Structure 1
Amino acid sequence: MRIILAGTGSAVGKTTIATGIMKALSEEYDVHPFKVGPDYIDPTYHTLATGNTSRNLDSFFMKEGQVRDAFLKAMEKKDIAIIEGVRGLYEGIDSINDIGSTASIAKSLNAPVILIINSRSLVKSAAALVLGFKALDPEINIAGVILNKVKNNAHYLKTKKSIEEITGVEVIGGIIRDDSISIEQRHLGLVPAVERENSLSFIELWSNIIKESIDLDRLVEIAKEAPKLTSPREDIWNKLNKQKVKIGVAYDEVFNFYYKENIESLEANSCKVEYFSPLKDESLPDVDGLYIGGGYPELFSKELSQNTNLLKQIKQFHMENRPIFAECGGLMYLMNSIHEDKQVGVYPYNAILTDKVQALKYTIAEVKKDNIISKKGEKFNGHEFHYSKVLVDKSNIKHDLAFNILRGKGSYNNQDGFMEKNTLASYVHTHVAAMPDFGGNLAISAREVGG
C-alpha cells in the first residue's frame, strides 16, 4: 500500500497534514514515511510520528530503478507508505521535465496521488486547479483531494461538490483553517523536530485534527489500489570493502542532517558506525574515520567552542592523516571559527552566518582530484542550501579543492571540497545514490589510512 500527498504549490500545509496522517494511521498500521526531495527537516517529524526513520526519494539523485530499490528496501515488513511530496506536484529541476519532482516519484512507484489544496477563498476555482493538474500529465493518477484552510463546513461542502461534480475526483476531507497548528520556522525551513520538547504534543494535535477531518478509511482504500511494483530495481550503493573498519558519525542537536542510505552504505561496506556528539562528548570514540554531516553549528558555535578537548582530538585525528569527511555544517565546524567562536581549525578560514541565502540549488559536481570519497573524472549530483559562507577569496585561498561545480555555487569560485591531508569538507550534500561508491571509498580510506 502506498500513497503520495502532493501540493498544488507552497503554503498548502503538506507537512502538518502528512505528519498528522502518519501519526493517525500508526495507531493501526506499521507506517513507513518518505519525503520527496532533498530535505533533512520534514523527515524528523515523520520519524517521530511513526517510529520509523523517514527516507528521501529524489529523481535528481536517483535513477528510476534506484527509487524503487530504496522504496522497497524500506518497505520490508511495513504495512503502508505515506510519501510527502515537495512543493507543487510538478515542480522539479526545471520548468519542462519531471526530474526532481513529486510527479516523477509517482511515476516510478506507480503510486496514487492525493492532491492537497489551500482552499482559502476558493470554491469553483478549486475544481479548475484539479482539472489543470489532471490534464497536465494523464500518467499521474490523482485519486483524491484534501482541502486545507476551509472557512467552515458550508465552505467545505460547496467546494467538495464543485470538485467532485466537475472533475470526477473525490474529496476525502477538509481541514478548518487554524493558524495555531502552524510550525515554527527557521532560516533553513522548519525547526527540526529533534529540538522541540513539545514536538510530540504538536504531532498528537495534528493527528487528532486529521482524524476529525479526513476519511482515513478511504485514504487507505486508495493506497491499497496501488499495483504491485514489478519494474526493475537498481542498487543505490556498491560494495567495495569487506574488511571491518569503524567510522565515527557526529550526531546530536547540532549535526543531524544525514541521508539514512549514506549511513547504510557504510554499514554495507563493513563499517561499524559509532555515533558521537561534538556538543557533549569530551572525547572521540575509537574509530578509523569520521563523518561530520550538516546541521546548525552556527546556532551552537559558542557551546562547540567550549568543548576544547574534543576540538583538539579532532584536529589531532586530522594531523595523523586519518580520513574526515564533512558536509555543510561539518565544513563550518572544521574551519578556524564560526562567527568569532574558535572551532576545530583544520582550515584557516572563518565561517559566518549571513542574512540571506548563499546557495539553494541542486548541484552537479565534477571531481578534479582523487579524494577519500571519489575519484578524478567522476561526476555526481548533490544539493546545497545554506545561509552561511566561508570567508575565502583569491587573496587567502591556501587549499586545493576537489570539485568543480558545474551547476550550483560551491564554496569558492565555482569550486568546492577543501582538501587537507585526508580531510575533505564541502558545502555540497551528497546522497549515495548519486555517488554509489561513497560508502566503499570512505571505508577503504579508513582501512588503508586510519586502520
Structure 2
Amino acid sequence: MRIVLAGTGSAVGKTTISTGIMKALSAEMNVQPFKVGPDYIDPSYHTLATRNPSRNLDSFFMNDDQIKKSFVRGLDLANADIGIIEGVRGLYEGISPIGDVGNTASIAKALNAPVILIMDGRSLVKSAAAVVLGFKTLDPEVKIEGVILNKIKGKRHFLKAKKAIETLTNTRVIGGIPRDDALTVNERHLGLVPALERERIAINIDIWSKVVEEYIDLDALKEIAKSQGKITKSNKNNNCDENIDNNIATKYNNLNNGNNNEDIRDNIRNNENSTELWKIANKNKVKIGVARDEIFSFYYQENLESLEDNNAKIILFSPYKDEEIPDVDALYIGGGYPEIFKKELENNETMRKSINDFHRDENPIYAECGGLIYLSQSIDDVKMCNVLPYNSIMTDKVQGLSYVIAKSNEDNLISQKGEVFRGHEFHYTKLLVDDVQSNFVFDIQRGRGILNNKDGLAINNTLANYIHIHACSCPNFAYNFTKNVSEL
C-alpha cells in the first residue's frame, strides 16, 4: 500500500495533516514515512509519529529507478504495511515552470501511487471543485483519488464543498478539518522547528492525530492506498536530462496495474538493469563519529546507511553535551543550527579543542553547512572550533537556497576529480572568505557555494562545504569517504 499526500500549495497544512495521519495509522499498522524534496525537518516529525526513520525521495537527486528502489528498500527495512509520502510545496512545483524534476508529481508517477490532494478550503465551495478539476486535468498521469479540505468553517460548509467536488470532479472528499490553532507548528529561519530539538512536539503530534481520527475517513484513505498496482520500470531516466534548467518537461511512461506490495518488491528486485542506489565496495572497517544532537540533526538516513554498507561503524556524539569526540577514525558533522546555539557550543571548550586537535593530527573530517560554520573560527564573534581559518556571520536573508550541481576539480575526501554530483544548499550564514586562491575542490555549475561558485574547502584532511549531499545524488560518497579513511 502506498499513498502520496500532496498540497495545492505551501502552507495548506500538509505537514500537520500528514504527520497526524501517520500517527493515527501507526496505532493499527506499521507505517513507513517518506518526504518529497530536500528536507530534514518534516521527516523528524514523521519519525516521531511512526518510530520509523523517515526517508526522502527527490527526482533531482534520484532517477526513476532509484526512486523506486529507495521506496521499496524503506518498506523492506521497516517491514512496513504502508508507505505514506508527504509532498513538497504544491503538487506540481519543481525546478521548471513546466517540467516535473523536483516536484511531488514526479514521485507519484514514478511509484504509480495514488494522490490525496490537501487544500485550504476557506471560503471555497464550487470554486474548490474548480481547483481540484484543474489539478486533475493538468497531468492525467497523476492519479488524484481523494481530497482533504483544511480550515473548514463548519459542518455545513464542509458538506457543500464536498458535494461540489464529488459531483463536478468525480473525486472523493475523505476529510474536512475545521480551523484550529492547535494544527500549527512553530517555525524559524530554516523552516519548521526540528522535532529532535523539541521533545514536546510529541504532544502536538498526539493532538494532530486525534484531529485526523475525528475528521478524516482513514478507512477510505487505506482503500485508496490499496488501489494502485505494480511499480514498473520506466524507459526514461528523469535525472539524465541535461537540460533541466532550460525548462524542458520530463516525460514519464504509463505504468501497469496490479495490487500488492510483494509484487512491487519482486518487480524491482528482478530489474537487472536498474540503477544502484550507491556504490558498495570498501572492505576495511572504519569508525566514523557522527555529530547528532539538538543542534546538529540534518542527516539523510540513507547517508548513514550508505556508510554502514561500506563497512563503517557509526558512533554518535554531541558537540553540545559531550566533553570530547569519541575514539573514531573520522568525523561527519552535518547541518543544523549552530548559529542559534552558538553560546552553548562556545562554552564546551573541551569538545572544540578535541575537534581542533583531531584536525591538526590530519584525521578526516567531513562537514556540511552547519558543520562548516561550527568548524570556522567564530560565528558573530562567538568562538567555534577554529579548524577553518575564517570567521562566519549570521545574516538576515537567505545566502543560498537552491538545488546544486557540482564538479570535483581534484581528488578529495568524498569524490574524485571530474565527478559530477548533485545536492542542495539552504542557509542564512556566510563564511567570510575573501581569498579566491583558497583550496576549493568543487566548481559549482548550479547554485552558489561559499564564494564565486566555489565550494568544498579542503584543509589537511578536512572537507567542509555548504552543499548538502544525498547518497543517491552522489553515489560514490560513502565509498570514497570510507576508502579514504581506511587508507590513512
| Shared fold (TM-score, shorter chain, > 0.5) | yes
Q: State the 1:398 CA deviation.
A: 5.8
8 Å CA contact retained: 2:7, 2:88: yes
For residues 483 and 36 of structure 2, the distance between their equivalents in structure 1, rounded to whole angstroms, comes to 31
Q: State the 1:66 CA deviation.
A: 0.5
% of aligned pairs identical?
61
Q: What is the match of residue 100 of structure 2?
A: 98
Q: 2:368 aligns with which of 327, 347, 359?
A: 327
8 Å CA contact retained: 2:182, 2:207: no
Q: 2:280 aligns with which of 230, 239, 243?
A: 239
8 Å CA contact retained: 1:32, 1:75: yes
Q: 2:349 aligns with which of 308, 317, 340?
A: 308
Which residue identity is paired with 2:25? L
Which residue identity is paired with 2:347? Q
Matched, 1:423 2:462: yes
Q: What is the match of residue 390 of structure 1?
A: 431
- Judge which range, 36-45 or 304-313, deviates more: 304-313
For residues 400 and 197 of structure 1, the distance between their equivalents in structure 2, rounded to whole angstroms, comes to 40
Q: What is the match of residue 262 of structure 2?
A: none
Q: State the 1:179 CA deviation.
A: 2.2
Q: What is the match of residue 243 of structure 2?
A: none
8 Å CA contact retained: 1:123, 1:159: yes
Which residue identity is paired with 2:17? I
Equivalences for residues 197-276 of structure 1 within 5 A: 197-231=199-233, 232=271, 233-276=274-317
For residues 285 and 226 of structure 1, the distance between their equivalents in structure 2, rounded to whole angstroms, comes to 48
**Partner secondary structure for residue 212 of structure 1:** helix
For residues 282 and 63 of structure 2, the distance between their equivalents in structure 1, rounded to whole angstroms, comes to 24
8 Å CA contact retained: 1:240, 1:441: no
Equivalences for residues 273-312 of structure 1 within 5 A: 273-312=314-353
Q: State the 1:122 CA deviation.
A: 0.9
**Partner secondary structure for residue 279 of structure 2:** coil
Tell me the number of residue pairs that the alignment of Structure 1 and Structure 2 aligns: 447
Matched, 1:377 2:377: no
Q: State the 1:102 CA deviation.
A: 0.3
Q: State the 1:203 CA deviation.
A: 0.4
8 Å CA contact retained: 2:41, 2:193: yes
8 Å CA contact retained: 1:144, 1:171: yes
For residues 403 and 232 of structure 2, the distance between their equivalents in structure 1, rounded to whole angstroms, comes to 30
CA-to-aligned-CA distance 1:261-320 (integer Å, 9 cap, x gap) = 000010000011111111111121111111000000011111111111121111111111
8 Å CA contact retained: 1:249, 1:273: yes
Q: State the 1:218 CA deviation.
A: 0.6
Q: What is the match of residue 267 of structure 2?
A: none
**Partner secondary structure for residue 193 of structure 1:** coil
CA-to-aligned-CA distance 1:112-167 (integer Å, 9 cap, x gap) = 00000101111111111111111111101000000001111111000000001000
For residues 225 and 347 of structure 1, the distance between their equivalents in structure 2, rounded to whole angstroms, comes to 54
Q: Which runs of 5+ in 1 are unaligned?
A: none
Which residue identity is paired with 1:308? E
- Judge which range, 149-158 or 314-323, deviates more: 314-323
Q: What is the match of residue 445 of structure 2?
A: 406
Q: State the 1:340 CA deviation.
A: 1.3
Q: What is the match of residue 17 of structure 1?
A: 17
CA-to-aligned-CA distance 1:19-46 (integer Å, 9 cap, x gap) = 0000000010000100000000001110
Q: Calculate the TM-score normalised by the size of structure 2.
A: 0.90
8 Å CA contact retained: 2:197, 2:295: no
- Judge which range, 315-324 or 213-222, deviates more: 315-324
Which residue identity is paired with 2:120? N
For residues 426 and 227 of structure 1, the distance between their equivalents in structure 2, rounded to whole angstroms, comes to 42
**Partner secondary structure for residue 377 of structure 1:** coil
8 Å CA contact retained: 1:240, 1:437: no
Which residue identity is paired with 2:362? N
Q: Calculate the TM-score normalised by the size of structure 1.
A: 0.98
Which residue identity is paired with 1:118? D
Q: State the 1:180 CA deviation.
A: 3.0
For residues 447 and 280 of structure 1, the distance between their equivalents in structure 2, rounded to whole angstroms, comes to 28
Q: Which runs of 5+ in 2 are unaligned?
A: 234-270
CA-to-aligned-CA distance 1:385-436 (integer Å, 9 cap, x gap) = 0111111224xx5621011111111111111101101110000100110111
8 Å CA contact retained: 2:110, 2:231: no
